[in-house]
Structure 1
Amino acid sequence: MTVKLAFIGFGGVGQGLLQILLEKENELRLEEGLETQVVAVADVMKGSVYNPNGLDGNQLLSLAKEKRPLSEYIGDSSTITGLDSIRTIQETNADVIVEVTFTDVNTGQPAIDHCRAAFEKGKSVITTNKGPVALAYQELSEAAENNGAFFGFEGTVMSGTPALRLPRETLCGNKIHQITGILNGTTNYMLTEMEKGSSYEEALKKAQEQGFAEADPTSDVEGYDARYKAVILSNVVMQTPMIAANVPCTGITEVTQEMLHEAVKEGKRIRLVAKITRTESGVKAVIQPEKLDETNPLAAVPGATNAILYECDLAGPIFLTGAGAGLKETGFSLLIDLIHFTRQKAAVKQ
């Protein structure tokens, strides 16, 4: 099965997926029956290029690496440049839209409009953007289903670690009554560095130097990133709509080195924890620093690693840990979705 792809956004994550597809081309064809063909790329900074007969992946990666515009792509007479993102979605022959733009998590845009445009055309979407799943999950899921499209978003919570697919598929049949997690690698890295003796400012600087924190770290350190991920877990795993603005959220800006050292003396660790709980009155969520016993598996999670604990009625506690960031890891999350899209299509044909 050859799947035609259009990349909307072509930063590190999109390039990471394309690199994986090139590296594993033979394996994916032999093991999954998956063949891919990139037909279009549209990026707000790099420009766009489209060829219905396919684009050369290595040339696309070279242009990106050399920071040259996509208009310099050397193709045949069928090659078109200059389409914006919506026209790329609507007017190209892509089967799957790889939506990896930078999204405003307050509005979910432009990714929500990209998903809407794709589903209206019956095209499937795989994305790592939190905005659409946190802010418009119900609408977009229904639009995908009504138009026979696939909506994949595995990478929105823990990158390539399957924090969504595990409970939805492997743990199906269980009622999950609580989810607790360390869902932001930047803050976990900073807290562990502060435990080792760094000040808050020093820990933040190290996180930025390591590429874990942005130049403006507000979304991470104030807990907003973890809050959106908690909302996604409520929407998808608990199947309960939740509004991010209604979730109490406290970040790590008030956590001091002294507080961390005192916790260690008590045999505890302070971590920024997202907690989503099913109660008699509905599903509640909260993001805040918590003092965890050393016996709690979340307490032992080091550095920029993420982790999540599902409390199940049948299976008991299920603990999952792995990388919550990284270009190749996040690119892998898109591959997970692409493989499941292929399997779903194959099952429908049988």
Structure 2
Amino acid sequence: MTQYNIALVGFGGVNRALAGLVAENNDNWNVQLGFRLNIVAVSDLHLGSVISPNGIDARMLVETKFAKGGFAQLSGGSAEADNEKVIRRAPADIIAEATFTNPLDGEPAVSHCRWALESGKHVVTTNKGPVALAAAELKTLAARNHVMFEYEGAVMSGTPVLRMAQKTLAGAGVRGFEGILNGTSNFVLGRMEKGLGFSDAVEEAQQLGYAEADPTADVEGHDVRLKVVILANELLGGKLKPQDVSCQGISGLTLADIETAAREGYRWKLIGDASLTDEGRIEASVSPRRLPVDHPLAGVGGAMNAVSFKTEMLGAVTVTGPGAGRIETAYALLSDIIAIHQARSTTVKKEAA
């Protein structure tokens, strides 16, 4: 039996959902995937930190209603979060980094990833900051320490757009993409099509948990810009930074704009895109656009996401799926762990041969 010790950095919705998946599915994973997960540490700004080399009961973590600093009541626990100690000292094989995204410099998540890789530990993360702002450095650090830096969930949550494009579309000649990469803005536009004003639509998105208390990153396109950077750099060989991507959100759209588009056979969508020019440059942008109703992205409704890849051999290949949600994003972490396990199994077989 293969067992991976895992440390959770951040215990909000995503890593809490991952712990729930561990509690419910470990026995099935052992049979179906060939490994189990053993949570040996957790660190969280609100709850504190805990390190337990023998493992922490995943179901207890999920079901206990801890107060602020509540990890202090656990053996090996403290009321204070100590992310660096947990990352460097916990006997973990894998660090699951699921803290908040900082679009300016990626911190503290970049440091979390750096500490883990320097310590010879794999990293799986859903955090856009380290991937958009420091991927090259972190990939180099991972290779130097013979570990993996995985981040499938940084673009479309559990929908595997990165691996699909890199592996399934390998050789198809991906020349660009355009996509609906933010479920909150897509939900807001859909509600405006039903007659809600912008502010009321945002408020409804907040009530349903789609939008944060401060929805700026979603509705002004900043979240999409980070995802465009990630996709362009990963799939088109770019070296873009967020400031290289022009960005306009949806807050300037009015009900009159929405209604006029509908009468003329169009729908407004917030689109992030990037394309290779004939000269080898990458042109990238985020902006609201009027799409004809027969466009492959026009029918993507609610909080769903979609990306349409432009390929030389197949034309447009469109992938649609959930771009948010705790379970969906936790699945992205699991898919990264599966990739680590598969790579490890391949290495072991080669060494045995």
TM-score by length of 1: 0.96
- Corresponding residue number in structure 2 for 1:34: 35
**Superposition deviation, residue 62 in structure 1:** 2.4
- Corresponding residue number in structure 1 for 2:337: 338
- Corresponding residue number in structure 2 for 1:297: 296
Q: 1:132 aligns with which of 112, 118, 130?
A: 130
Deviations 1:290-318 (A, max 9, x none): 11011101001111111110011123211
**Superposition deviation, residue 193 in structure 1:** 0.4
- Corresponding residue number in structure 2 for 1:221: 219
CA distance in 2, matches of 1:281, 1:50: 49
- Corresponding residue number in structure 1 for 2:230: 232
Kept after mapping to 2: 8 A contact 1:157/1:229: yes
RMSD of aligned C-alpha atoms? Answer: 1.3
Q: Which amino acid aligns with 2:189?
A: L
SS in 2 for 1:297: coil
1:1-350 aligned within 5 A: 1-64=2-65, 69-73=70-74, 75=75, 79-81=76-78, 84-279=82-277, 280-350=279-349
CA distance in 2, matches of 1:145, 1:316: 34
Kept after mapping to 2: 8 A contact 1:137/1:235: no
Kept after mapping to 1: 8 A contact 2:48/2:77: no
Q: Which amino acid aligns with 2:107?
A: Q
**Superposition deviation, residue 65 in structure 1:** 6.2
Segments of structure 2 that go 5 or more residues without pairing to the other structure are none
Segments of structure 1 that go 5 or more residues without pairing to the other structure are none
SS in 2 for 1:299: coil
Kept after mapping to 1: 8 A contact 2:186/2:302: yes
Kept after mapping to 1: 8 A contact 2:10/2:43: yes
**Superposition deviation, residue 174 in structure 1:** 2.0
Deviations 1:12-45 (A, max 9, x none): 1001111112211122100111111000001111
Question: Is 328-337 or 278-287 further displaced after alignment?
Answer: 278-287
TM-score by length of 2: 0.95
CA distance in 1, matches of 2:32, 2:60: 26
**Superposition deviation, residue 83 in structure 1:** 6.3
Q: Which amino acid aligns with 1:57?
A: A
SS in 1 for 2:297: helix
Higher relative contact order (CA 8 A, sep 6+): 1
**Superposition deviation, residue 67 in structure 1:** 6.2
SS in 1 for 2:123: strand
CA distance in 2, matches of 1:304, 1:255: 18
Q: Which amino acid aligns with 2:149?
A: F
SS in 1 for 2:305: strand
Structure 1 residues 310 and 65: alpha-carbon distance in aligned structure 2, compared to 1, 3 A threshold: farther
SS in 2 for 1:97: strand
Once the two structures are aligned, what percentage of the paired residues are identical? 40
